[in-house]
Amino acid sequence: SAVISQKPSRDICQRGTSLTIQCQVDSQVTMMFWYRQQPGQSLTLIATANQGSEATYESGFVIDKFPISRPNLTFSTLTVSNMSPEDSSIYLCSVEWGDTQYFGPGTRLTVL
């Protein structure tokens, strides 16, 4: 499987600001995904990021709030914009390897 890293691992931010999370993979992958995991909850898909095309967002998530970039086959970013305390969560990227998904270590975001 691929080795996946995320930056930052955690951050504490003020409401109204934005944070960009980076996801780096050591191999070229076609599909990358971004998930949110609220405290004590399951994983909810935010969007699918395919290189060379616009990200596909799930119901309840919009590009203005969670813009995503996918400039190449090993890298993606997720920005959490105009943050509020409700955005406090763990954000995870995952990559598709075969038909299986493998997860990055996550970014723990706290919004004050």
Partner 1 sequence: GENVEQHPSTLSVQEGDSAVIKCTYSDSASNYFPWYKQELGKRPQLIIDIRSNVGEKKDQRIAVTLNKTAKHFSLHITETQPEDSAVYFCAASRGAAGNKLTFGGGTRVLVKP
Q: Which residues bind partner 1 (CB under 8 A)?
A: 30-31, 33, 41-45, 48, 50, 58, 92, 96, 99-106
**What's the closest the beta carbon of residue 99 comes to partner 1, in angstroms?**
5
Residue 50 or 79 with smaller CB distance to partner 1: 50
Cβ 52 to partner 1, closest distance in Å?
13
Q: Provide CB contacts within 8 A for 16, sequence distance 6+.
A: 82, 83
Secondary structure of residue 85 in the 3-state scheme: helix
CB-based burial, 45-66: b 16+ in 10 Å, e otherwise: ebbbbebeeebebbeebeeebb
Q: Which is nearer to partner 1, 3 or 17 (CB)?
A: 3
